[in-house]
Structure 1
């Protein structure tokens, strides 16, 4: 059985901000664009968590959009 490709993700480093994570995970993108993309791909952290944007070391933070399965 062949394994399917999975979405790329990272876990936050201690004390890492979303800006730090975006710069590390998406270095080829402008910082604000990278932050906005990561926020949109991780609503479980940036829209639903209280306080919004609190990242934990155990979080899975997706650094690419959902993959199309066909």
Structure 2
């Protein structure tokens, strides 16, 4: 059950991260980061690692995009 919740939070954050790749919408990554961190935390409590790994990948994508844009753009 926790793994399913983790995957759901990962999908929510991925839906926010994808449009945030467009220039001047990078602020959406700041909105997606808490969802991805919460999903990774919940996934760590689960017996399987799929949801946690998915959230960590989404977290990495958002963090890389933020670093490329200087944290704002």
Q: What TM-score results when the alignment is normalised by the length of structure 1?
A: 0.26
**Which is higher, the Rg of structure 1 or of structure 2?**
1
Whichever structure has more strand as a proportion of its residues is 1
Per chain length, whose mean CA-contact separation is higher, i.e. which structure has more relative contact order (CA < 8 Å, sep 6+)? 1
What TM-score does the superposition give when structure 2 sets the normalisation length?
A: 0.26
> Greater helix share, 1 or 2?
2
